[in-house]
Structure 1
Amino acid sequence: MPTARALDPIASRQRRLHALYGWMLLAPALILLTLFAFLPTATTLIASVHSRGTARRPSMFNGAENYADLLADPTFWTVLGNNLVYAGITIPVSIALALLMALWADRHLPLRGFVRGAYFTPTILPMIAAANLWLFFYTPGLGVIDSVTGLFGLPPVNWLGQPQTALGAVIAVTVWKEAGFFMIFYLAALQTIPPDLKEAALVEGAGRLTYLRRVLLPLLMPTTAFIFINALINSVKLIDHLFILTKGGPNNTTKLVLYWIWEMAFSYFDRAHAAALTVLVLAVLGAVAVLQFAVLDKRIHYR
């Protein structure tokens, strides 16, 4: 019979093999995350505390000067306000429309497959293609919207060329593009809810609104939280349609944070301030993620 001392080296060798096997499984994801997430983040953080370098004058450490410049720039507050309005409208409207479309598409309709496909079609279009499509709606005097309103004697409107309507026009494109994508998650979640719950609620005398508020929405909260985080991230990262529709104009009324980062980095070649703004965006998204895991998850019941 092997003694305890003889078994210790064997157990230790097995633990080392298990640890090596675990690191081998983690290696592909760890390498990709290091190359495309950790290193770019560290490089951006370092660049954000250095001055803008030129061929004759290399960049130097300047601490928080880049951040102070951003806070003192009126364009920063304009862009921040634009993004807050953009997110504050696109997120709840997209989620509400997605839920309504999912509830409708989940019913026993004669053309249920066609309805689901029609709702999901905008999602499969690239954002550039969707923006070009919406140009046919927004073109002053010749677009679909002005053609319809002209039938009622209304004058043509330059939807993308005036500050009063430009941001709203961009928001409409985003909502149209994202609502169908979020609908898929709600539709999948609805199909996992047992029909017995609805039958029991009807037996107890609950109406449709009561069933929706007391049963359906609480069960959909995990899906809603997931969609909310995705919608929040999309409200910061979706800028493709700006290149086609407005290019941030008129007078910066549709310029969003990521578009301004791209503009500073590749149009003005101001990598230092672009890096500082990127760090601020990452900090805000990180704070939202912490809020989700610390607060929202405690209020959500997963089944």
Structure 2
Amino acid sequence: MRSSPSAHRPSHPAGQAWLLLMPAMLVLLAFTHWPVIGTLWHSFQSTPKGGRPAVWVGMENYQVMLDDPVFWKALTNNLWFAGATIPLSIGLALAMALWVNERIAGRTFLRMAYFTPTVLPMIAVANIWLFFYTPQYGLLEQVSGALGFGSHNWLGSPSTALGAVTLVAVWKEAGFFMIFYLAALQSLNPSLREAAAIEGASRWYFFRRVQWPLLMPTTLFVLINCVINAFRMVDHLFVLTRGGPDNASTLLLYHLYEVGFSFWDTGYASALTMVIIVVLVGATLLQFFVLDRRVHYR
């Protein structure tokens, strides 16, 4: 006698689904949500020192932050840093992907060359560019000297330090985002290009009217990662400038590191952490709810 199909179905499919999700949920709760809650709690407390435990101080740490000129300098620098790295990284990644997607000689070598900075540790990248920026002896100084320009301390001048570290970040990130654009371009239907060629459309018109709208889902993904990286990228500062000169290249995360680990002010550092979290969450929600409406998934 044959059994009915319902006899082989699990009795509690919802329970089994929750069990499968439980390991990932526990890891997410332990290493993401709980630390955020703990940081929020510590941001309303003083820093424990010696035998003096932490006490509730309310909004005092946030008031200290508002009165801190270094915080406002770091925030301004970070906004300039994000405003430069985000469009430059996306634009350069898209341009490189469009180029290496064509049938050109040495295409494999070009792809490898563009992607190589991505696999290098940020500390190694910073040391490479430190050689470029070294006054009088660096590669950039040698080239500028050969062209008749004077010597300049790129990392030691307040007017160029932030731009110098921004260029390093763009060079490091663009190759990584190129891979996503390249994969998206290769997934497009080849008949679209053929139809555009038959109609006599130029390359620019084909890109603007066909490729760019179809690349919007990839662009949204890349944009979110660019925003996050703009506020979490700090490794190269330890090698290149250490936030100097006169905090000209200090970013929020570097300022947070100095407050938390150099001055050991955990209460103030927690308040800074919450500000960074709020900025990133706000930027991500803005992108999802505003830019997602302009994305064409089909």
**1:42 equivalenced with 2:29 (yes/no):** no
Q: Deviations over 1:144-173 (max 9, x none)?
A: 011111113322111111101111110110
**1:235 equivalenced with 2:230 (yes/no):** yes
CA shift, 1:65, in A, is: 1.5
What is the identity, as a one-letter code, of the residue corresponding to 2:28?
A: L
Q: Deviations over 1:174-207 (max 9, x none)?
A: 0110010000000000001111111212222321
Aligned residues: 293
Which residue in 2 is equivalent to 1:289?
A: 284
The separation in 2 between residues aligned to 1:299 and 1:134, in whole angstroms, is 38
Secondary structure in 2 matching 1:164: coil
After superposing on structure 2, the runs of 4+ consecutive aligned residues of structure 1 that deviate more than 6 Å are: none
Unaligned runs of 5+ in 1: 1-6
Which residue in 2 is equivalent to 1:180?
A: 175
Which residue in 1 is equivalent to 2:3?
A: none
RMSD: 1.6
TM-score (norm 1): 0.93
Secondary structure in 1 matching 2:72: helix
Which residue in 2 is equivalent to 1:104?
A: 99
The separation in 2 between residues aligned to 1:106 and 1:205, in whole angstroms, is 21
Secondary structure in 2 matching 1:67: helix
The separation in 2 between residues aligned to 1:67 and 1:169, in whole angstroms, is 31
Q: Deviations over 1:250-276 (max 9, x none)?
A: 000110011111111100000111111
CA shift, 1:24, in A, is: 1.7
Which residue in 1 is equivalent to 2:81?
A: 86
Q: Tell me if the contact between 2:136 and 2:142 (Cα under 8 Å) persists in the aligned partners.
A: yes
Secondary structure in 2 matching 1:249: coil
The separation in 2 between residues aligned to 1:163 and 1:145, in whole angstroms, is 18
The separation in 2 between residues aligned to 1:19 and 1:29, in whole angstroms, is 16
The separation in 1 between residues aligned to 2:188 and 2:287, in whole angstroms, is 24
Which residue in 2 is equivalent to 1:252?
A: 247
Unaligned runs of 5+ in 2: 1-5
> Percent of pairs identical after alignment?
53
TM-score (norm 2): 0.95
Among 15, 21, 42, the residue aligned to 1:20: 15
What is the identity, as a one-letter code, of the residue corresponding to 1:217?
A: W
Which residue in 2 is equivalent to 1:138?
A: 133
Secondary structure in 2 matching 1:163: coil
**1:71 equivalenced with 2:66 (yes/no):** yes
Q: Tell me if the contact between 2:154 and 2:161 (Cα under 8 Å) persists in the aligned partners.
A: yes
Among 186, 210, 218, the residue aligned to 1:215: 210
**1:54 equivalenced with 2:49 (yes/no):** yes
The separation in 2 between residues aligned to 1:195 and 1:21, in whole angstroms, is 43
The separation in 2 between residues aligned to 1:89 and 1:156, in whole angstroms, is 25
Among 101, 105, 112, the residue aligned to 1:117: 112
The separation in 2 between residues aligned to 1:181 and 1:32, in whole angstroms, is 27
Q: Deviations over 1:86-130 (max 9, x none)?
A: 000000001000000000000001211001001101111000000
What is the identity, as a one-letter code, of the residue corresponding to 2:126?
A: A
Secondary structure in 2 matching 1:54: coil
CA shift, 1:67, in A, is: 0.9
The separation in 2 between residues aligned to 1:20 and 1:70, in whole angstroms, is 46
Q: Tell me if the contact between 2:227 and 2:283 (Cα under 8 Å) persists in the aligned partners.
A: no
CA shift, 1:14, in A, is: 5.2
